Amino acid sequence: MVKFLRMLAISAREGTATRKYPFESSLVTPEFRGRVDIDPAKCVGCGACVRICPPSALTLNYESDEVVLKYFIGRCIFCGMCAYVCPQDAITITKEFELATPELNDLYDEVVHTAVKCNVCGKPFTTVKLVKEVEKRIDGGDMSPLFNTCPECRRKLTARRVGSGVTGVSVE
């Protein structure tokens, strides 16, 4: 009984500790992480966010002439790892957390990029924006023809060049 009276005295002195949500705004701290927002103008489709995402809320799909970065809010755990690793600062963490919707499609965000097809095999393997970003960051020199070659074909071409250099016999 004494404990109850002590609690009652503390409650009377401190007042109400909870908020009448949703009638009052919720208490969101500065460190709070909500859904992520992807800026399509900054995103180059490198896929760093996809590789780091623990629940696989971000996926990168290659479809004929397009590379689609999909963000499924329903799987996101709001860890912010994608924003941390994004080299273009294209991903920002918002404070949005009231994300309920009756439509499942409302939980998807997409960024569509134009695909680059391999100049050897024709398979789409990266985005045009990523190739341009790489060309901008490094001086291509004699490497620039390889920018439009998929990793598998690039490996074969390099092996042929190395092989012809060692044996002196051209295989082209």
DSSP string, 136-160: HHS--GGGGGGGGS-HHHHHHHHHH
13 SS3 class: helix
Residues 48-64: tens digit of each pLDDT: 999 999 999 999 999 88
User: Residue 142's pLDDT is what?
Assistant: 65
- Please name every residue paired with 112 in a beta bridge, in sequence order, or none if there are none: 68
**Any idea what DSSP says for residue 111?**
E
Give yes or no for a contact between 71 and 34, defined as CB atoms under 8 angstroms apart: no
**Distance in angstroms (rounded) separating the CA atoms of residues 18 and 31:** 20
pLDDT exceeds 90 at position 169: no
The confidence band for 15, taking pLDDT boundaries of 50, 70 and 90, is: confident
**Distance in angstroms (rounded) separating the CA atoms of residues 118 and 124:** 6
**Distance in angstroms (rounded) separating the CA atoms of residues 96 and 113:** 26
Output phi, psi for 143, to 5 deg.
Answer: -85, -20
* pTM for the structure as a whole: 0.77
